[in-house]
Structure 1
Amino acid sequence: MADQIITDAQSRMKKAEEALKRELGTIRAGRANASILNRVTVDYYGAQTPLNQVASITIPEPRVLMVTPYDKSALEDIEKGILESDVGITPANDGTALRLVIPQLTEERRKEIAKQVKATAEQGKVAVRNVRRDAMDSVKKGHKNGDYTDDDLHNLEDQVQKATDKAIKGVDAIAADKEKEVLTD
């Protein structure tokens, strides 16, 4: 029971880190990254379909994304989907594919994005702390029910805290990497 609480908490903390990585992957950093198009959906024959299911996304140059539809008739729908999304890049349509040129970021914009990265990382830390709180509540509930002795309670609380500290360090490292990517060219 006690091991299950710790294992569950560690698993949920790891998922919070992975969610942070996915979220930070969608933030534009001044170079081409196909994951910035992950949230784009396209009206494909009446159904909202993720862009990566209707087109291939390649990076022919460091600052260029090339979106090539599998079905050429969907090109205009894909262009419309990109324009309606929050990507903030206008695609260039050459009749067979779309080119998205990632603009050079200004220093001011880089600092704004770095703040956004920090805010997103803070949300990740909050998620980790929520998992910690849930695990601590479970441990205290087990102690109250007589499942654990006082020594077991302290040991389990220490294990939960160590797992939390490790997850927070992981979140900080992920955020620092993304911030470095944003602030350098």
Structure 2
Amino acid sequence: MEIAANAALVVVDVQKGFEEEEFWGARNNPAADDNIASLIDVWQATGRPVVFVRHDSPKPESPLRPGYVGNGFKEYVEERRGKGAGDELLVSKTVNSAFYGTPDLDAWFQAAGIAQVVVAGIQTNMCAETTARMGGNLGYEVVFALDATYTFDLVGPFGWRCAAEELARATAVSLHGGGFAQVVTTETVRGAAAR
């Protein structure tokens, strides 16, 4: 695969609040944080733009609510912010899609001539997937680094339960099979970006 010289890495909601297992439940993919960090490192080393997205939950019980320690980025993300040679943007949002945040992500991409977007972050089947879907709808070439995301077990209607790994696979199939994004591994993205 090819990663454009100005492809943007969108790091979705890598926040401390997601460490609160008693709130979220069991997660998948323990390697996700290392993979996310490695993508940020490659993007910063090659001067590509990085977008850090923060979810400011309006729900008072959420570990991601503003004013609570969980709203902050995880340490490895915070340590990397402002360190790259390329442009950097902070987007705050209250819904799933980073394209419905502040400032306007689509406008920023358009102004910078960015056509390719790589999505990583939390949760696979929620904000990462929604951002990827909307990016595809808006005409961007979206690359979804599946193993640089993670999610949690979830209960739905009719008593149905899905394990985190099942949800991640469903996201991968929906995004890739539905033509919203090219779903790949972190290693594939890193290799292409380093060339």
Larger radius of gyration: 1
Q: Report the TM-score when normalising by structure 1.
A: 0.22
* Structure richer in helix, relative to its length: 1
* Structure richer in strand, relative to its length: 2
